[in-house]
Amino acid sequence: MLWTLMTSTAHYIDLCLARLGTDTFAQAFCDFVERLGTDQIMVFSIEKRQATCLMSRHFSQTALANELAAMYLDGWYRNDPLLPELLASSPGTVTLRSLDDVSKDMDAEYRQKFFDTPGLLTKTTLLGVGSDLRLFISLYQTGTSTAPLDPDLFVLVGRLALLHFEQQVGSDAPALLDVLSTRERTVCLGILAGQKTELIAANIGVAPSTVVTYRKRAYSKLGISSRASLFALCRTSS
């Protein structure tokens, strides 16, 4: 049993390593994270005056994860009690912090919005710092989670995220869109660029009705229902 578990875990890690920097990394990475017993993962790139959401996934409630990501970007990241430590951390480090480590420094309204109301009762955050990025990689569990948490594997999660997203620095496409097919991603990028349905259709050589179908599929995968939600999810706050 233990050998089977170790072999399976190694398989997921191997898949993540093989897909670093590619559009297929997100799914392999999320499969690995879910296997560790987490219910939600959120990855944010943080600078002194801005935050960018690179990944947001609740494994059973997609819309919840994206709602929380949009709120976090809307200035609430400045209330994150781990922000000073992340900004002061040295390049090449991945540090693990639990909710217990920071609960005493957490603003009551912040805790209500991001933990109590959505029912996310346990959080482990990796502070990952590379040559170009400073990341919060946050792993959440609800009260129904029973899987044991392995700190060493969680640190590995942080390393994998840092390696992947540093390879993607300079990419024009929001990393959140990695979960989409090529056409779905193209349609979303067109929407983000302010293009009308007819122009997007002409650019990719399909009918406007087909663009609408791709848009609906993309929104379903992202857990959103509107253009405004797409902008909220993919924007950078400053």
Q: Which pLDDT tens digit goes with each residue over 130-150?
A: 999 999 999 988 765 445 567
The percent of residues in the chain predicted with pLDDT above 90, rounded, is: 32
pLDDT given at position 173: 65
Q: Which residues contact 212 (CB under 8 A, 6 or more apart)?
A: 197
- How many whole angstroms separate alpha carbon 62 and alpha carbon 223? 5
Q: Of 150 and 94, which is predicted with more confidence? A: 94
Do 93 and 129 form a contact (C-beta atoms < 8 A)? yes
The fold for domain 180-237 equals: Arc Repressor Mutant, subunit A (1.10.10)
Q: Which pLDDT tens digit goes with each residue over 105-134?
A: 898 999 999 888 888 878 899 999 999 999
pLDDT given at position 238: 38
Domain limits, the chain: 2-167, 180-237
Model confidence at 85, in pLDDT bands (50, 70, 90)? very high
Mean per-residue pLDDT, 159-177 = 81
Q: Per the CATH hierarchy, to which homologous superfamily does domain 2-167 belong? A: Transcription factor LuxR-like, autoinducer-binding domain (3.30.450.80)
Cα distances (Å, whole numbers) of residue 23 to 131, 162, 227: 22, 15, 23
pTM of the model: 0.76
